Structures are given as structure tokens and as C-alpha cells.
Structure 1
Amino acid sequence: MNTEDTSPRTPPPRSLSGLWPFVRPYRWQVGLALLFLLLAATATLLFPVALRHLIDGGLQADRGAQAMALRGHFLDVFGVAVLLGVASASRFYIMSWLGERVTADVRSAVYGHVLRQSPAFFETTRTGEVLSRLTTDTTLVQTVVGSSLSMGLRNAITGLGALAMLVWAHPMVMVQVLLVIVLVVLPAMWWGRRVRRLSRASQDRVADASAIAAEVLNAIPMVQSYTAEDREAGRFDEAAEHAFRTAVRRSRARSVLVAFIIIANAALILWGLYQGTQAVLAGTMSAGQLGQAVVLVILFAGAVAVWGEVYGDLLRAAGASERLMELLASRSPVQEPVQPRTLPAVHGGSRVRFEQVRFHYPSRPAQAALDAFDLTIEPGQTVALVGPSGAGKTTVFQLLQRFYDPGAGRILLDGVPINELALADLRGRVGTVPQDPVIFSASALDNIRYGRPGASDDEVRAAARAAFADEFIRALPEGYDTFLGERGVRLSGGQRQRIAIARAMLKNPPLLLLDEATSALDAQSERMVQAALDTAMQGRTTLVVAHRLATVRRADRIVVLDHGRIAEQGTHDELLARQGLYAHLASLQFNA
């Protein structure tokens, strides 16, 4: 497998500017951290000055004056140390708090934004990649905001201060040192671009491995059923190995950068020491001034070395920040109206109208999922959608809930075009019972209450009784408080379906969508679920998708779809008499 980086973009460190909206609300904390940072840098720069006075003061001929001077100078040095310790500790605490706070805000913002994306987003973005960005990338951001950034700023201030003091005290020496610095910085910046590219590539490879793991872990029964454990483990090993090789290349490049900076810094220190000793021998510099110069050169070289490390962290965080900002910058094609309209009050169900709707899925632009689709459903009616697989039945449900917008035509709910409604108002009027109901890792009570979070326990139990779920729930070890396991693994298919029906009934919407709600059940479970559905359908408009025609015989009207168009519609008996597509499908099923 090719391990070369194919990333089309290289994020510069300024990509971190995308984090500013998350840092801005805490500008007081930032200002306080900068204050302590400046105090710590100032204390660091005062050390060489105090050292100079300590050395020169200790060379006095008068023993009594020398002892007094030394005592005062040692107290000055200790005072500088206290200032440095307090300022550094305060800066560390505030920046650590800020890093944790900003990271939590970024995670929440990205997660909340992803939740509002239309299904089109997930046609091209894997869930595992999103999870990788929420965990790995935000951890990198936390490291930089909480630690590396403040360390880099402190060393930048210290290094520049030391450089300024050296230039002021020894201008001729520093002209030569500055020339050497240019020879160090330019190659480091050139090599840093390679480290930056590899950092982004490494994070992308980790995201690929996370995506594979998330996909497989969500399909464990299928994987084990096909005895594909070794195959899937091998696929993950290959992705992990790819990530490892890319990370090694990044680490190798960064190691070269670190080695170069350390060797160059050693050269700077030795050059400064050599120039200083020559000045002392020539009598143009005192021993205290030499000590001060040596410490300043060490501080400057150390600051440059730390910046080499911090720059690498900034490059990694820039890639992570860019990936997070890409998620935040993604815009769902389904947008809220600027001035949403209000739905009228309804009794006995909603009225639904499709007017010449045409729609293509983003991943299949050449094939129309619906074409010239025109349908009216009156309040309280039960309309069944049937047809071959791929005829467009589920698409009707997705468009009606505005997961997608049609390319042409419009959809009206109770006389109002749905694209003029707030999404919460539109979806608040719709209840769904899918073929594969979603059961959350929570109690039975909480799973049903998901339909209406503010419902009381009594209302939840009433919905469960109406859905014929009360009996089996009370038989669970802890009744309604029983934890149902991830995806409801402790329940049978029919029990999960009745939980979903109870959830929809608790919501009490005027429009109910049943998508193959009984197709995966055995005969006994189907009878129980069908009884629950009959109760749920009373007093509301119901749209039913079904392959099994036996479940739609009692519908007020059956709409037969074929290749995204309405082929025919009528009652069960009327359609059988026409000997069309419905009669053909019925003969295949009933004869079988």
C-alpha cells in the first residue's frame, strides 16, 4: 500500500485562527494568563542582571562591604525566583483551564453541528472519521491551547528580551550572532513545511483506522456470522500500519528538525562564550558582564530550542484545527427559513400534498428517485406506498421530513410548503416507526420518553400500554428502569418495535410514518405489533411503506410506485381487478 502523503492542502499555523471564536469568550482569562506570562518572562530576564551584580559585588576588596553586598544580591536573586515561581504556576493553571474549556466548547460545537447535517453529509463522511476529529484532533488542540502555546509565547518573549539585552550590552558580538541565527531559522522553516504536511497526513490515517473500527463494531453480529473476525482485524491492522508508517515519517522529519535546532543552538552558545571570553581577556568586559552575557545567550538559545518543539506542536494542531473547522464550515443543503411560517392547528390528522416532485440523491445524480410525483393525502387517511425495491417509497418519507429538498416541485403540510417551516415545527408534527427501530443505551422509560422528553412517568406507561409494551417491560428485571443495552440487545425484534411505537404514540403527532414496521418480525410478533399500530393510527394521518402486501389491505388507498413514478393507486380490491403492477406483486407473494 502506498504510504506517500496525498493530502491536497497544507495547513499553516495560522489555521489555528479558527479557534479564536472559541477563545474570545474567555478573553479575561487570556489577559490574566498573558499578564502572568509577562511577569514570568520578566523574572527570567532579571536573573542574568541579578547574577551580574552578584558576581561583580562579590569582588569588592572590603570584606564587610562584600558580605553585605552579597547578602543583598542573594536576596535579590531569591526574590526573582519567587516571582518566577508564582507567575509560572499561575500562568500554568490558567492556561490549563483555558485549554480544557476551549476543547470542551469545540467538541460540543462540532458535535452539535454534525447532528444538524442532512443525510447527504453522511453519504460522503464516515462516522468514524467524525469521531476521530472529536477525540484525537480536539486532544491536539487542548495540548496546544493549554500548554504549548503559552510555552511558546513565554519563550518568544524571553528569547526576544534576551536578544534585545544582548544587542544593547554587546552590539558587535550580537551582529555576528544574528547572522548565525538567520542561517538557523531559514532551514528550520523550510524543513518545517515537510513536518506540517506529514502531520496532517498522519491525522488523516488515524481517522481512517477509527472509521473502520466504528463501522465494524456497529456490525459485530454480521461480522461474526460471516466469521470475518480475522479478515476485519487484518483490515484494521493494515489501516493501523499505514497510520504507523506515516507517523514514523512525521517523527523522523521532526527529529531531524529538533537535532538541527539543538546543534545550531550549541553553536550559538559556544560562539557567544568565545566572544565573551575574548572580551574579558581584552579588558573590555567584566566577569559579571560575561556571566550575564552567558546566561542571556543560554536563555536565547533555550528559547529557540523550545520554539522548535512548540512549532512542531503548532503544526500538528494546525492540521487538527483545520479538520475541525472543515466540519464546522460544512453547510447542510437543508436550511432553516429566515422567517418561518406557522402551521395551523389540526384535529384528526394532517393534510399532505406532493406537487410534481422530482428528486435525485446527491450520490446518484443521474438517477431520479422520484419523478413527477403528485399525491394528496387527506386528514385521517391511511395511505400505503408499495412497489419494487428502489421504487422511491422511503424517499417519500425522507422528503416529507425534509432530510433532503426536492430538485423540483414542492411539498405542503396542512397547506404550508415545508421549506417555509422551521424544521422543529415540521418534524414535531411527524412520528416515525422504522423497520429497524433505534433503541438507545438507556432504560425503557427513557427510550419511550425520547418521543416527548417532558412527559411524565404515567404518560410514558400509558403510551406503553397502548403499544402493547407494558406487559413485557414490567416483566424485565427492573421494569421500566431496566437498562436495555446498546441498540436494545436485551430485547427481541418485536419488543424493540413496540418500544418504537410507544415512543411515537407518546409524541402524539398528527402524521404517522410507518416504514416496513412489521416486515422483519415473526408471525406472533407481527400480530402484536400490528395491533399496536392499529391503535397508533387512530385519529391521525398515516403513511405506510410495506413490501408485504398483507399488511396494507386495510389502507384507505394504496399507491403503487415504479421507478419513482406513481404507476397506479386505489384500494386493494380495485388494484387487483386492474391486473396491473400491484396484481403482479400480489400474485408473486400470495402464490408463494
Structure 2
Amino acid sequence: MPTTPATTDDRSSVRTLLRLWPYVRPVRMRLLTAAFIAIGASCVGLVIPLVLKWLVDGPVAEHDPEGVWLGALYLLLLGVAEALLFGLRRWLVARPLAHVEAEMRAGLYRHLQRLPVAFHDRWASGQLLSRGTTDLMLLRMFLAFPLTFLLVNGVTILVGVVIMLLQNWTLGLVMLAPAVPLIALSAVFEKRYAHAARLAQDQVGDLTTVVEEGVLGIRIIKGFGRHRSQARAFRELSGRLRGTELRKARLLATIWAVIMALPEVAIGATLVVGAVQVADGSLSAGTLVAFLSTALALRWPVESIGFLLAMSQEAATATERYFEVMDAEPETETVPALPSAGSSGTGLRFENVRFRYPDAPAGSPPLLDRIDLHIRPGESMALVGATGSGKTTLTALIPRLHEVTEGRITLDGQDIAELPREDLRAMVAVAFEEPTLFSASVADNVLMGAGATAGTDELNGALSVAQADFVHALPQGAGTQVGEQGLSLSGGQRQRLALARAVVGRPRFLVLDDPLSALDVHTEAAVEAALRQVLAGTTALIVAHRPSTVLLADRVALLSGGRITAVGTHHELLRTNVEYAHLMSGRPTEEEDDDR
């Protein structure tokens, strides 16, 4: 994935942030209540200068000590009220915003599970991980603070300006002089900061990917002594992220310096003009004190504009990144179709199937072209072909991990495109060449391939078929946690557990992608003997590279050049097909000789 989007500068931050409304709507009343409370707290703060005016022009000017103490009490009560109201606002938003973040994260995870395999092939896992963690944290922070205070500070500034103009309009105009340059500067800052924020968040995703790959591939890194080069690559990415963060800091420092300097200059000018008016008697000292106190009370709302805009831009970028995933089209579901009349018991059939990856260059030849293949009910067929011939891709079409480009695949006469994926995948079990295990117990990993009612008997039966008796010697037996990716086990052990997962549910159709490649000769023979009993009652397609695996099948299909070029028994193809004989003998074909 590219790290810098082409459309960042053209998008509307407000329009992007409005996409959060469906998530915020359930808690909108608490957020609105919190906003009104914060506005009330700010308005209480603006009453303090008016009390000061009364105090200076009244009790202080009249030398009334009791009035001074009364004014001090009023100021104390107003300060306590302001603090309590802000505390109440924070309490109101904490729980609902944590709920919003949790709902968005759960929605992202659910959506990721529904996206096609082609999507996951294109996206780095670190980019997806950063969207579910860092980006959602930024959104929660935005909803908790900047969203509210953009409104609160806007109202506070408006009310404060009205109060100042009512007290003295000439001083008010002096204070308003910096408004125009501040607005223009904020517009420029928003555009530049948006680009830097997007770049930084994408670079965080890239860095997360490197960390994840480094952890999962630690054995390779150590085995080949590549820790220095990996550390160097990490430092380079980290350096780029550092540079982008420094650029953000420079932008924020620039606008903050200007935002702080202009109001200070305006306050200084106001003090001079006001002092002159007090000296000539056209303005009371209390009014000047109240005006300056109001201006000082507005310093925080004005000075906060810079980082509130920065946080809003980061939130808009996080929202954009979140919906880049949420907008991706999930696997389309089909309306369940009634079985065709007389279609039961016809097995697995490929009819003129073509497949080209969705992101393949236009005009490129299909990876699979006009595949016609029939596996009869209860029959096991081995699929043989050279490396890169498309065997794994063909097997992935059966559970609809990829969708056929043309043609159709039928199970017992019914087009798999007309079957709901949940029903289809309940009928078809798969064991991939690369066995993937989850950070869970052995039992949980194996029973993923069975129904909810499966128990110990089914588990032990599947472990027996896969010759995975090593499980019983583990510290907690089948309850032992296998660790991330199952890397605490050997390759052969992981492969046997993946095979057990495939057969535990006694599926009607079984797809095995070179399921015995990591086993030693003796274990392979034992697994094959047990697997024959399972294959006797199911329709199976087995990707095979070795004669021992081929002999598990009733017939063999040869995949070459994206097409099925021969079908027959193992011995028939050995006699009649040169390419097949070369593949089974392990000797290179003529094409491979030419490549050398």
C-alpha cells in the first residue's frame, strides 16, 4: 500500500469527520450535555471579570472592606463552580467514548473477517493493526477533547467579544484586529498539517509491519545473522517517521507562536489605549480591569486553536484511514438456492473455469485457463504440477477464498457461487501447505474444523488420523497453548495439527494442499495409512508432489500451463505422459534444463 494518499489535500476534514456520526449517535445526548456543561463553565469564567469591575469601581473605590470580602467570596464561588463543571464534563464523556472506541474496533475486526483474501494479500498487516489501535485512540481523544472544545472555545470567544464590545467598543476593535491574519494563517496551517499527519500515520503502520515481521521471523533473522541489517532497516523507517514528526512539530510551533504573539500584542495595545482613557476620565479603572480580565480569560481559547486544529487534522486522517478499510467491499453473499433436481451425488466438478487475480495487469493471461475436471463422489484425486503452475490457487477456489473469473465449480451439482459461504465452508475442509496455528490450545486449534458440538472423542480421532500423538506428551496435553503461529512446535507437528483440523469434522469434501510435505518418511507412512480410511468416505482433492502422496488418490490430474493436460491413474500417467514422469522422478524437465 502507498503511504501517502493522492487525495489528502483535496478532502474536506469536516466531511470526513462527519462519517463518525453513526458511531457517536448512540451517545450523542451525553456528549451534548457535556458540551453544554463546558460552555456553562466557560461562561462562569467570563462572569469573573464583571465581578472584578464591580469590586474595583465599588468596594475598592469606596474603601469598603466588607464589600471587598464579599467580592472575594463571589470570586471563590465562581472559581469552584467552574472547576466542578469541567470535572463533571470529563466524567460524562469518559464511559461513552470508551464504548464508541470499542464498537469501532469491533466493527473493524468483523469487517476484516468478511473481506476477501485478495484484500489481505494487498495490505500489510501492520497498516491494518495501526488502524485498529493508534488511529482509534486518536479518534477517542478527538471526541473527548477537541470536538467539544472547538465548540466551547468558539462560543466562549464569541461571548467574550460581545462582553468586551459592550464595555468599550474602541478597545474591543483593538482586540479584534489580529482576527483576520489568524484566520488566514489557520487555513494555511490546516492544509499543510493534514499532509504531514497522514504521512506520519502511514509511516507508523509501516513501522508496525516491520516490528511484527521481525518478531514472527526472529528465527530466520537469527539463523542468518541478519539482526544488524534488520535493525538498520528499522532505524531508517524510524528516522523517516522522526523527520515527519519534527515537521509536524515545526508547523505546530509556528502557528502557536503566531497565535500567542498576536493576542499579546493586542492586549498590550489595549492596555495603553485603556490607560490613556482612564487618565483623561473617559473610562473607569474598573471597566479597564474587567476588559483586560476578559481578554486574559480569552487567551486560552484563542491559543488553543493551534493544537485543536492539529488534533482535528490527525483525527480526520485517522477517520480517513479507518474508512479506507471499512469501505472495502466485503465478500458478496448469495441467496441460498435450492438444489438442482437429480444433482445429488455428482461430486466435485470444474466447468470451463478461468481465474485471473483482480489486480493482475490488464490483458495478462489468466493463471488458470479453461479448467475442466470431475472428481466423482467418494473419489480422491491428486493434483500434480510444477511449482508455480497454480495448484494452490485452484484449491483456493473451492471454498471461495478467491472467486472464479469465468466458468463455475459445482458440489454435487450445485454451483458454489449460489451457496452461502458459511454453508459452503461447512461442507469443505481445507489443510493448506503452510499450516497456520493460533495463539490458543491444541484442542481449540484442531476443533476449529468441527461443529460446535464436537468434543473429546472427535478431537482424539482426528489426532489419531494425523498421527499427532505427540500432543499427549505436551505439558497440559491437548490443553497446551501452542504460542503465536504455533512456532513452539516443529514444522511436522504443525502440519499434523492442521491435518487433524481438516479431518475432525468428517467433511463431505476435503481439500489438502501437500499435507505431508514436512513429515519424515515413517510418520508419513503412518499418516497415509490412517488417512486412507478418511478418504474412503469423502470426496477429496489432494495437491501432491511426491509419489507416496499421489498413491493416496484414486486418480491423478496434471496441471500444466494453467490447464488440466492429463487425467488418469498414477501408473497410467507414468507410462503415457513425459512431463508427469519427470515430475514424479524428481528430474528436471526440458524447460528447467533450458533455464539453467
Shift of 1:217: 2.5
CA contact (8 A) 1:262 1:305 kept: yes
Structure 1 residues 492 and 32 mapped into 2: Cα distance closer, same or farther (>3 Å)?
A: same
For 1:306-345, list aligned pairs within 5 A: 306-332=304-330, 334-337=331-334, 339-341=335-337
Shift of 1:144: 1.5
Structure 1 residues 581 and 218 mapped into 2: Cα distance closer, same or farther (>3 Å)?
A: same
Counterpart of 1:56 in structure 2 is 57
Per-residue Cα deviation, 1:370-426 (whole angstroms, up to 9, x for no partner): 101112222211111111122221111111111222221122223222222222111
CA contact (8 A) 2:45 2:82 kept: yes
CA contact (8 A) 2:384 2:543 kept: yes
Q: Secondary structure at the match of 1:310?
A: helix
Counterpart of 1:355 in structure 2 is 351
Q: Secondary structure at the match of 1:404?
A: coil
Per mean C-alpha deviation after superposition, the further-off stretch among 150-159 and 457-466 is 457-466
Counterpart residue identity of residue 333, structure 2: E
Distance, in Å, in 2 between the alignment partners of 1:260 and 1:227 is 51
Alignment partner of 1:142 out of 140, 143, 152: 140
Structure 1 residues 469 and 276 mapped into 2: Cα distance closer, same or farther (>3 Å)?
A: farther
Distance, in Å, in 1 between the alignment partners of 2:418 and 2:266 is 68
For 1:363-402, list aligned pairs within 5 A: 363-365=359-361, 366-402=364-400
Distance, in Å, in 1 between the alignment partners of 2:268 and 2:203 is 42
Structure 1 residues 76 and 472 mapped into 2: Cα distance closer, same or farther (>3 Å)?
A: same
Structure 1 residues 532 and 86 mapped into 2: Cα distance closer, same or farther (>3 Å)?
A: farther
Counterpart residue identity of residue 357, structure 2: Y
Counterpart residue identity of residue 32, structure 1: T
CA contact (8 A) 1:445 1:460 kept: no
Shift of 1:166: 1.5
Per mean C-alpha deviation after superposition, the further-off stretch among 387-396 and 342-351 is 342-351
Distance, in Å, in 2 between the alignment partners of 1:379 and 1:342 is 20
Unaligned residue ranges in structure 1 (runs of 5+): none
CA contact (8 A) 1:7 1:201 kept: no
Per mean C-alpha deviation after superposition, the further-off stretch among 315-324 and 168-177 is 168-177
Distance, in Å, in 2 between the alignment partners of 1:453 and 1:45 is 66
For 1:438-457, list aligned pairs within 5 A: 438-452=436-450, 454-457=452-455
Shift of 1:22: 1.5
Counterpart residue identity of residue 300, structure 1: L
Counterpart of 2:268 in structure 1 is 270
Counterpart of 2:523 in structure 1 is 525
Per-residue Cα deviation, 1:447-503 (whole angstroms, up to 9, x for no partner): 122223624542453334443556322211111221212222232333222222222
CA contact (8 A) 1:357 1:370 kept: yes
For 1:105-120, list aligned pairs within 5 A: 105-120=103-118
Counterpart of 1:234 in structure 2 is 232
Counterpart of 1:497 in structure 2 is 495
For 1:241-320, list aligned pairs within 5 A: 241-320=239-318
Structure 1 residues 129 and 283 mapped into 2: Cα distance closer, same or farther (>3 Å)?
A: same
Counterpart of 1:437 in structure 2 is 435
For 1:10-21, list aligned pairs within 5 A: 10=9, 11-14=11-14, 15-21=16-22
Per mean C-alpha deviation after superposition, the further-off stretch among 242-251 and 41-50 is 41-50
Counterpart of 1:81 in structure 2 is 79
Shift of 1:233: 1.2
Counterpart residue identity of residue 237, structure 1: R
Per-residue Cα deviation, 1:240-287 (whole angstroms, up to 9, x for no partner): 111111211221121111111111121122223233323322323322
Per mean C-alpha deviation after superposition, the further-off stretch among 74-83 and 479-488 is 74-83
Counterpart of 2:593 in structure 1 is none
Distance, in Å, in 2 between the alignment partners of 1:511 and 1:579 is 28
CA contact (8 A) 2:347 2:377 kept: yes
Counterpart of 1:9 in structure 2 is 8
Per-residue Cα deviation, 1:63-85 (whole angstroms, up to 9, x for no partner): 6xx34544443333233223212
Shift of 1:21: 1.8
Distance, in Å, in 2 between the alignment partners of 1:259 and 1:283 is 36
Counterpart residue identity of residue 27, structure 1: R
Counterpart residue identity of residue 348, structure 2: V
Shift of 1:356: 0.8
Distance, in Å, in 1 between the alignment partners of 2:139 and 2:346 is 48
Structure 1 residues 487 and 5 mapped into 2: Cα distance closer, same or farther (>3 Å)?
A: closer
Counterpart of 2:37 in structure 1 is 36
Distance, in Å, in 2 between the alignment partners of 1:283 and 1:354 is 99
Q: Secondary structure at the match of 1:559?
A: strand
Distance, in Å, in 2 between the alignment partners of 1:508 and 1:266 is 78
Structure 1 residues 347 and 356 mapped into 2: Cα distance closer, same or farther (>3 Å)?
A: closer
CA contact (8 A) 2:339 2:414 kept: yes
Per mean C-alpha deviation after superposition, the further-off stretch among 97-106 and 239-248 is 97-106
Q: Secondary structure at the match of 2:8?
A: coil
Distance, in Å, in 2 between the alignment partners of 1:535 and 1:288 is 99
Per-residue Cα deviation, 1:537-572 (whole angstroms, up to 9, x for no partner): 232111101111321124122111101111010111
CA contact (8 A) 1:357 1:373 kept: yes
Structure 1 residues 18 and 114 mapped into 2: Cα distance closer, same or farther (>3 Å)?
A: same
Unaligned residue ranges in structure 2 (runs of 5+): 590-596
Per mean C-alpha deviation after superposition, the further-off stretch among 539-548 and 210-219 is 210-219
CA contact (8 A) 2:380 2:541 kept: yes
CA contact (8 A) 2:126 2:210 kept: yes
Counterpart residue identity of residue 500, structure 1: A
Q: Secondary structure at the match of 1:374?
A: strand
Structure 1 residues 419 and 579 mapped into 2: Cα distance closer, same or farther (>3 Å)?
A: closer
Structure 1 residues 328 and 468 mapped into 2: Cα distance closer, same or farther (>3 Å)?
A: closer
Tell me how large the CA RMSD over aligned residues is: 2.7
Work out the number of aligned pairs and report it.
Answer: 583
Distance, in Å, in 2 between the alignment partners of 1:514 and 1:356 is 22
Q: Secondary structure at the match of 1:483?
A: coil
Per mean C-alpha deviation after superposition, the further-off stretch among 25-34 and 276-285 is 276-285
Per mean C-alpha deviation after superposition, the further-off stretch among 130-139 and 537-546 is 130-139
Structure 1 residues 437 and 397 mapped into 2: Cα distance closer, same or farther (>3 Å)?
A: same
Counterpart residue identity of residue 395, structure 1: T
CA contact (8 A) 2:42 2:156 kept: yes
Distance, in Å, in 1 between the alignment partners of 2:99 and 2:116 is 29
Distance, in Å, in 2 between the alignment partners of 1:401 and 1:346 is 23
Counterpart of 1:422 in structure 2 is 420
TM-score (norm 1): 0.92
Counterpart of 2:566 in structure 1 is 568
Percent sequence identity is: 32
Distance, in Å, in 1 between the alignment partners of 2:6 and 2:272 is 46
